Amino acid sequence: MMKAINLFLNNALFIAMFCSLFLISKSTYAENITKVRSAFIFKISKFMTFPPPTLNNMKLCFFNEKKGPEKFLFSKKSLKSQTPPISIVFFDDIEKIMELNHSCNIIYLNENIQSKIDKQWINKISSKVVVIGETLEFLDLGGLVALIQKGNKVRIFINKAKLSQSQVKIESRLLALVKFHPQ
């Protein structure tokens, strides 16, 4: 019995160390993916042409969690997309759709926010605004762009039907890279 207890104690320490390492590495890995997503959001904006009236700033809108890509983009104050500077706008309430349509060029919805919206909410978003999500389900709901994790990389998926309805022009060079959903 004592032997079993000793063995457990010894292994428990090892298991604890393994778990902590796993958790740390997983946390680091998740942070890297978030960084990549934030970079993708920024880079995608460079290949998009928004319809007039164009705003003085390229406005990227996030819902106020400050845990996702917005965290990294917010820390970069001097970012520019093509010529206009990028400003990060935070919203608390997803129901302020009118305000979102007027204030945002790109709206980013992480998985948590995605779970709170439905197809009707997305349809209310203006065709002049690009909505970016993180899952294929988001595209199924009517989202335009999704940054989906594939292994250790992030891939861009675009809803082809939604793209044809959108007033935002995406450069063919970018389109050459993306995957369309549904195929």
Partner 1 sequence: MPRYGQTISIKKALIRTVILITAFCLFLSVSVSTYLDIAKQRTITINKLTTYADIIAFNAQVSLLFDDENTENKRLIAFRAVKEIKNIHIYKIDDFTNETSFFTSYNAPNTPPIPVKINKIKAPFTPESIGNHIDVIRPIMFEGIIQGYVYIRGDLSALNAYIKDKLIIDISVAFSVLIVVFILSLRIQRQLSNPIERLSTLVQGVSKNKNYDIRAPHVNVLELNQLSHSLNVLFSRTQAQLERQKKDEQEIRLLNQNLEEKVNLRTIALKEANQELLNTLERMHQYQNQIVENEKMASLGQMVAGVAHEVNTPIGLGVTGSTLLKDKLTEIKSAFDNKTLTSKQLSRFIDDGIENLELVYRSLNRAAELISSFKQVDVNQDTESYLMININDLINEVLLSMKKDINLNQHQIIIECPESLYIQSKAEPLRQILENLIENSLIHAFDEITSGIITIKVVIDEGQCQINYTDNGKGVPRNIRNRIFDPFVTTRRGEGGSGLGMHLVYNLVTQAIKGRITLNNTSSTGVNFIITFPIDGRI
Q: Which residues bind partner 1 (CB under 8 A)?
A: 35-36, 39-40, 43, 46-47, 153-156, 173-174, 176-177
- Three-class SS string for 120-159? HHHHHCCCCCEEEECCHHHHHHCCCEEEEEECCEEEEEEE
User: Minimal distance in Å, beta carbon 148 to partner 1?
Assistant: 13
Compare residues 94 and 178 and give the one whose CB is closer to partner 1. Answer: 178
Compare residues 36 and 161 and give the one whose CB is closer to partner 1. Answer: 36
User: Minimal distance in Å, beta carbon 115 to partner 1?
Assistant: 26
User: Minimal distance in Å, beta carbon 86 to partner 1?
Assistant: 13
Compare residues 164 and 172 and give the one whose CB is closer to partner 1. Answer: 172
Q: What DSSP letter does each residue of the chain carry, written as one string?
A: -HHHHHHHHHHHHHHHHHHHHHHHHHHHHHHHHHHHHHHHHHHHHHTEEPPSSPPSSEEEEEETT-SSHHHHHHH-TT-BSSSSBEEEEEES-TT-HHHHHHH-SEEE--HHHHTT--HHHHHHS-TTSEEEESSHHHHHHT-SEEEEEETTEEEEEEEHHHHHH-S-EE-HHHHTT-EEE--
Compare residues 81 and 114 and give the one whose CB is closer to partner 1. Answer: 81
Compare residues 131 and 156 and give the one whose CB is closer to partner 1. Answer: 156
User: Minimal distance in Å, beta carbon 40 to partner 1?
Assistant: 7
